[in-house]
Amino acid sequence: MSTHSSPEDFGNQLDTVFDRFGHLCVGIDPHPYLFDRWGYDDSSRTLSEFSLRVLDACVGKVGLIKPQVAFFERWGSAGYAALERLIHRARESNILVIADAKRGDIGSTMQAYAQTWLSSGSPLESDAMTASPYLGLGSLEDTLRIAEAQSKGVFVLAATSNPEAREVQSAIIEHGDNTGSTLARSVMRGVVAFNQASGKIVGGVVIGATVDLRDFAVDADEFAGMPILAPGFGFQGADPKDARRLFGPLAQRLIVTETRSILEAGPDGINETIIRRAGLVAEALR
């Protein structure tokens, strides 16, 4: 049955994918150095061919892809056309698409971003998007509402793996009751509160696989069952076999994202690499 045929909430869609294909998500980053590794020139034509070949290698092996929108945007209208083709073909193939757009704004502007990536019938309609809460988590309220209405997901940046983020994301936020928590934990609690009020799993968070949750005063038990998008496995150093140790109760809906560790295999090796990496992830989260 198609993962897009019923209005079930995003958490249920994820669970279906995990049951059928496991927790591996293949990142699609059409980086110029990867074109070179694949024997391609750096052009908009190559962009589309590369992306679709990666997708074709994913079909039947994994249930999630995460295109990095920036690498498509650099080609302007041709890049967006390539991204539209990729998203459409992926969703037709029953692969959930997480648009890694990292949008963050206020008011009608953020609403327009959400409609772009999450609204039914949009040329760029995806199953989920990434969003930035650093204009205040409240600025994402309409985004979460649109996702809720469309049975989509939103992954909010919480504890990212880039070292310069730790100073901000581990900062203590004072609450009205004279208690405090780190910004990362505050973001996570806000997303959980939305899910609880909705009665659906709509929001998840981005947590880098190379971070130590203790640095952000995050207790995994508090957020068990929350969808977690975790880049940083593979090339960036995190090993899938450590996923359960790293994330504990958060492993239930953990999305293990790998990009360069798969794409660097090139056109001749990508099929075998996806099968191998998916097997490693499945073994780790069995």
Question: Which pair of structure tokens corresponds to residue 263?
Answer: 């794409």
152 belongs to the catalytic site: no
Nearest 5°: CA angle at 80, between 76 and 81?
Answer: 115
Find the DSSP H helices in 133-237: 141-150, 166-169, 183-198
The active-site residue, picked from 61, 66, 102, 200, is 102
> Which amino acids are annotated catalytic?
102
